[in-house]
Structure 1
């Protein structure tokens, strides 16, 4: 784990002594240069998350209580204290004091125009949005923070998007946050435990089923015969599914009307990448997923990425379009 640049902390003065609201003082401390990273390595090795809370997890807490879960997170290169975990929030929020403490500049912000509701039930217009990495133990997750300039006893709020991406479970009762680390070969282990074997139905080795090795021979043969008779109902390739009729349901992008459409300058891919792009476009056109447009308002370049298997994946650079589509923090369930 990379060494922290410093620590961002908050001091709250008692109400009534400083005026109408608590006084908040934020300060940044640097990590001593001579500190060894052996303690961090030991902490990483001892990071053993569980997904069950026991009575012993309440040790060190005062019960009963109604306190929020407040933790310390590595945001960017700083250890940030007093970060509230809110499982009911659909967005991550960062307050302007922390934004300045992280030494970020106003030009680093992306536009964000959807208002938020503050703790005192007032609408707050965000300053913008910024994407930053959050490190918890060995796990690093990038999230979009909505930056607001208003008072809060916390430096930031992390909600469901961060929890779900991390695969974490928060308990305000136990004042703990835990995650589950799945083994790299989880699928192989599950197949081994369940006793599954690969059965190729036709001559194409890419098309196969996994059936239980403990099935009686007669039941196994009946199952395979049933699968052979119904091969046409399985989608062996994403392009086999032709999608949903637009008259039934249709998705529209929430593009900010005040943003000017942008056409990215064309790029010249290599011969290998050009062939991969051509093949992918033809597949999508045959499946009816895309259509040709001669005068587009938005134009984004293709990006070709090589996968671990050596195959090429064709992506689209939607950076400009994403900036023009603000996220809705109050999503419909």
Structure 2
């Protein structure tokens, strides 16, 4: 689709007057509203993030998360490599970012790329970070505000005005879950649902030890009275672990 217009994300100066943008808004008659019918085709109730597919550069990029709480657009390694970008393509960016696990991340750099949604193109600055994230990129307030869009994770949509009409970007809620389930089904053999499913693990890799002070004489605890059913179940579980050498019995002197 040929772009109708190209917009660029800009930084508003601290002292710049906001009167002109307000007058521009008065002349805009497009109203972005979400209705109950906008939830048709979604799984309700849910607490899913809004994940969409966007055309970034010349590629349709899946698993892009829309985060209205983010003040920047962020790109992660999978997308960086998939677009064939090199370090020489990046401009310096030294301000650290806070990751979702609370750690500071030093960006690799920043690059300006176009995002096309229907006839609208918004040029945004993607901050490139080399850290794991389950999505390919984050688009936040700079992209949303420049596009004039409103996102609703409840309705799994982004709505934005274009040429006197209201256009929509549909979230990938069902696709997201289907892809995850398909991935899990295809990799069942790598999951150990029970210690007995992973016998022969080298103790140098992982081993559980009791935090016992060797200078303290162990004390034998009085036996607990268990029902026959509980005692039988415990015995079977212990014998199962012993057979695969997940545990071993240790004798202490009285």
User: What range is the shorter-chain TM-score in?
Assistant: 0.5 to 0.7
Question: What is the Cα-based RMSD across aligned positions, in Å?
Answer: 1.7
Q: What SS does structure 2 have at the residue aligned with 1:99?
A: helix
CA contact (8 A) 1:50 1:178 kept: no
**Cα deviations across residues 194-216 of structure 1 (Å, max 9, x unaligned)?**
xxxxxxxxxxxxxxxxxxxxxxx
Residue segments in structure 1 that go unaligned for 5+ positions in a row:
3-48, 184-333
Specify the alignment match of 2:132 in structure 1. 151
Specify the alignment match of 2:152 in structure 1. 171
Q: Work out which of the two has the higher radius of gyration on C-alpha atoms and give 1 or 2.
A: 2
Q: What SS does structure 2 have at the residue aligned with 1:180?
A: strand
Q: Structure 1 residue 118: deviation in Å?
A: 1.0
Q: Structure 1 residue 106: deviation in Å?
A: 1.1
CA contact (8 A) 1:86 1:160 kept: yes
TM-score where L is the length of structure 2: 0.52
Specify the alignment match of 2:102 in structure 1. 121
Q: What SS does structure 1 have at the residue aligned with 2:162?
A: coil
Q: Structure 1 residue 151: deviation in Å?
A: 0.5
Q: What SS does structure 2 have at the residue aligned with 1:70?
A: strand
Residue segments in structure 2 that go unaligned for 5+ positions in a row:
3-29, 165-254
Specify the alignment match of 1:132 in structure 2. 113
**Cα deviations across residues 136-194 of structure 1 (Å, max 9, x unaligned)?**
111000000000000101000000000000000100000000101254xxxxxxxxxxx
Specify the alignment match of 1:267 in structure 2. none
CA contact (8 A) 1:111 1:129 kept: yes
Higher relative contact order structure (alpha carbons within 8 Å, sequence separation ≥ 6)? 2
Provide the C-alpha distance between the structure 2 equivalents of 1:170 and 1:162, rounded to a whole number of angstroms.
Answer: 11
1:88 to 59, 69, 85: 69
CA contact (8 A) 2:119 2:162 kept: no
CA contact (8 A) 2:120 2:162 kept: no
Q: What SS does structure 2 have at the residue aligned with 1:149?
A: coil
CA contact (8 A) 2:39 2:155 kept: yes
CA contact (8 A) 2:77 2:132 kept: no
Specify the alignment match of 2:228 in structure 1. none
Q: Structure 1 residue 50: deviation in Å?
A: 6.4
1:78 to 50, 59, 62: 59
TM-score where L is the length of structure 1: 0.40
Runs of 4 or more consecutive aligned structure 1 residues displaced over 6 Å after TM superposition? none
Q: What SS does structure 1 have at the residue aligned with 2:126?
A: strand
**Cα deviations across residues 20-65 of structure 1 (Å, max 9, x unaligned)?**
xxxxxxxxxxxxxxxxxxxxxxxxxxxxx96111111101112121
CA contact (8 A) 1:76 1:134 kept: yes
Provide the C-alpha distance between the structure 1 equivalents of 2:104 and 2:82, rounded to a whole number of angstroms.
Answer: 24
